[in-house]
Structure 1
Amino acid sequence: MDILFNTHGLIQIISLLALGLVAGVINTLAGGGSNLTVPLLMVFGMPPDIANATNRIGVLMQSFAGAEGFRRKGCLPLHDFKAMLLPLFIGAAAGGFAAAFAPQTLLKYFILGAMLLVAGITLVRPDVIAPPPGTVTKRVTDVPSSRWFLLLTGFYGGFIQAGVGFPLIAVFAGSLRYDLVRSNALKALAVLFFTAVALLIFIVQDQVRWIPGLILGVGSTIGAMLGVKMAIRASQRSLKWFLFIMTLIASAAAVLL
């Protein structure tokens, strides 16, 4: 892997930029983009733990671009984010430490179950994931169970990242009743914070490969900016069906990986 990137292999660079762009769009609109980028890094010779850690650079960059894009469009609600941040932070720190020392296949079936649950709810009870216009949002203090969901989601995000957008959307849209645009905006900001925590742990453990990670991050950032524009323009119905399709695709990827 180091030899490939020290010589700046054109195929590897183009692949990382292209798949990073696709993943940035997917993660901004739904989730599951890391199911594309982590296997790509492994194909290029990285062990699973190194690929999992290196992938966080792209996730961090795209999350910043996505959150900032939503903020500029006035779609990032921050009035209750402090209450969301603490359980996410604690969960991410615990998950990051776990990922540094534990087999990353440990939580495979957890995320598969979470993704299938989101897909099922989207199909059977779309009003849960996509609240109708005029739905009043709730604070974390109004829904005490949301703290536990955020804690568990932060742990999973710190541990393995892939597919974390689905349980985050389930919390923000399902429990706290934000529409899908604002749920995606909050998701981007949440992922930004807990990815920073996990990435710091991986850096200390010397598990991050910077050159491929930054190349991936450039593509992911462009994808996130495109994703914000698509999210703002899309209808709630379109976002709902995109979320449903991506949960099925990500679930299939989780089974195959």
Structure 2
Amino acid sequence: MDYSLLNIALLIGTGFIAGIINTLAGGGSNLTLPALMVMGMPADVANATNRVGVFLQGISASLGFKKAGKLDTNDILPVMIPSLIGGLVGAFAASYAPEVWLKPLLLGAMICMTLIMIFRPSLIVPPEGTQPFKIKEKPSAWLTLFFAGVYGGFVQAGVGFILIAALAGTLRYDLVRTNALKMICTMGFTALALGVFIWNDQVLWLPGLILACGTISGSYIAVKLAIKAQPKHLKWFLFIMTVCGSIAALSST
């Protein structure tokens, strides 16, 4: 492994940007995974090591949203259960199944989200004052959250878009509360995935913790931005990140 100052700066810098992107939208791992591989990691080790930053960023963002009163604690358990089950399935699958199985599904989901946000943005971004549904009222949200967990446990990159589709598009949370619950779900299934990868001795802790310094800082800043931003600004940021995520997924297929 090459721990030059340049590579350390690369990890912290990409981690910082990814922490902002992951907290406000999704797709930050499209930056951090290549950064880890630049240091000489095989793809499976980079995939596992990346979870250290994702998990610690999730803690930072969740605490920030909770302190700001934007995390609906009564809704945490119902939305976490399907994503945790899916995360465990995905994490075990990552040790045996080829990554190409899920990439086309993610690409399709992001392209659909991009088109919806162009032609029917209210389906993904509910109008202000919309009363969210409980998950028992929308069984389709359970399936979407389960799939998000499977994908997140498998490769992580872009899972935020699927969680947003479930939480904002199906359950009708506003974008700030969606992002708060999204980070809780991500933290939960990432913890399970990280446990599987640690068991398989696939995590390199030093670069993972260096990366986490950036992701934690980025998520802290992103929570502040999310609380202060106008809903329309968050909507446009989500749209831009969805387009970028689609391009990244296309270029890697």
Q: TM-score, normalised by structure 2?
A: 0.98
CA distance in 2, matches of 1:153, 1:11: 34
Aligned pairs for 1:35-50 within 5 A: 35-50=30-45
CA distance in 1, matches of 2:201, 2:6: 26
Aligned pairs for 1:143-182 within 5 A: 143-182=138-177
Partner of 1:122: 117
Aligned pairs for 1:198-209 within 5 A: 198-209=193-204
Q: Deviations over 1:203-227 (max 9, x none)?
A: 0011111110100001000000000
What SS is found at the alignment partner of 2:130? coil
CA distance in 1, matches of 2:19, 2:237: 14
**Aligned-CA RMSD value:** 0.9
Q: 2:102 aligned with 1:100, yes or no?
A: no
What SS is found at the alignment partner of 1:17? helix
Aligned pairs for 1:128-147 within 5 A: 128-147=123-142
CA distance in 1, matches of 2:67, 2:27: 25
Q: Any unmatched runs of 5+ in structure 2?
A: none
Contact 1:21 1:220 in 2 (8 A): yes
Q: Deviations over 1:167-199 (max 9, x none)?
A: 100100011110000000000111000000000
Q: 2:252 aligned with 1:253, yes or no?
A: no
Q: Deviations over 1:126-182 (max 9, x none)?
A: 111111111111100010111111111100000010000001001000111100000
Aligned pairs for 1:5-16 within 5 A: 5=3, 9-16=4-11
Counterpart AA for 1:135: T
Q: 2:6 aligned with 1:21, yes or no?
A: no
What SS is found at the alignment partner of 1:80? helix
CA distance in 2, matches of 1:26, 1:43: 21
Give the CA deviation at 1:123.
Answer: 1.4
What SS is found at the alignment partner of 1:135? coil
CA distance in 2, matches of 1:144, 1:35: 30
Residue of 98, 106, 112 corresponding to 1:111: 106
CA distance in 2, matches of 1:61, 1:81: 18
Residue of 146, 169, 186 corresponding to 2:181: 186
Partner of 1:226: 221
CA distance in 2, matches of 1:124, 1:43: 39
Q: TM-score, normalised by structure 1?
A: 0.96
Counterpart AA for 1:165: G
CA distance in 2, matches of 1:45, 1:256: 21
CA distance in 1, matches of 2:243, 2:93: 27
**Which moves more between the two structures, 74-83 or 55-64?**
74-83
Partner of 1:51: 46
Contact 2:27 2:245 in 1 (8 A): yes
Q: Deviations over 1:43-69 (max 9, x none)?
A: 221111111110000100111111110
Partner of 1:213: 208
Partner of 2:60: 65
Identity %: 51
CA distance in 2, matches of 1:123, 1:213: 37
CA distance in 2, matches of 1:86, 1:75: 20
Following TM superposition, where does structure 1 have runs of at least 4 consecutive aligned residues deviating by more than 6 angstroms?
A: none
Contact 1:129 1:240 in 2 (8 A): no
Question: Aligned residue pairs: how many?
Answer: 252
CA distance in 1, matches of 2:54, 2:250: 22
